[in-house]
């Protein structure tokens, strides 16, 4: 995908994550500089989840999602969830824990899911950047 088109779509979608949404969901946008989007979720029990979405080639490819610490370093382990979306094993490509969920690059590139093509869902409203974040957030909120 042409970088200018990818950047335009990225900016358009991130712009729509308005203050009403961020406040009510307790999300903070830490950094937005194409192709990177860093975001942190907060829960009532004090838990936090910080992630970096790497959105190069958006939306020809889904975002890569990396769990990061307060210094921006990739985490080597994460909290698991019962459904297995938060996968603590090493991804074959990145060697890091990953989100095993449709709409995330590490899912679609995992050998277990290569038949589940991103192209079949990429234009659905569930799979905008905000939609993907919402799906991840709801998984995490089940834990907190």
Q: Which residues bind another protein (CB under 8 A)?
A: 13, 16-18, 20-21, 24-25, 83-85, 87, 89, 99-104, 107, 110, 112-113, 124-126, 128-136, 138-139, 141-142
- Determine contact, residues 107/101, Cβ cutoff 8 Å: yes
Residue 18 CB, shortest distance to another protein, in Å, is 6
Question: What pairs with residue 54 in β-bridges?
Answer: 36, 64
- Determine contact, residues 55/35, Cβ cutoff 8 Å: yes
Rg value, the chain, Cα: 14
Residue 57 CB, shortest distance to another protein, in Å, is 20
CB nearer to another protein: give 71 or 112.
112
CB nearer to another protein: give 3 or 138.
138
Residue 2 CB, shortest distance to another protein, in Å, is 23
CB nearer to another protein: give 32 or 141.
141
Residue 54 per-residue DSSP state: E
Residue 9 CB, shortest distance to another protein, in Å, is 13
Angle between helices 129-143 and 3-15 (to 10 degrees): 50
Assigned token pair, 85: 């979306």
């Amino acid at each position: 995908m042409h970088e200018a088109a990818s950047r335009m779509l990225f900016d358009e979608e991130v712009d729509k994550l308005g203050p009403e949404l961020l406040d009510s969901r307790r999300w903070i946008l830490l950094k937005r500089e194409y192709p990177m989007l860093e975001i942190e979720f907060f829960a009532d029990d004090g838990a936090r989840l910080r992630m970096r979405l790497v959105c190069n080639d958006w939306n020809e490819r889904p975002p890569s999602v990396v769990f990061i610490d307060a210094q921006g370093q990739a985490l080597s382990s994460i909290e698991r969830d019962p459904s297995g979306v938060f996968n603590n094993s090493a991804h074959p490509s990145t060697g890091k824990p990953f989100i095993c969920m449709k709409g995330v690059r590490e899912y679609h590139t995992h050998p277990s899911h290569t038949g589940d093509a991103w192209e079949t869902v990429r234009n659905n409203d569930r799979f905008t950047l905000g939609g993907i974040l919402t799906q991840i957030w709801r998984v995490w909120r089940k834990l907190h």
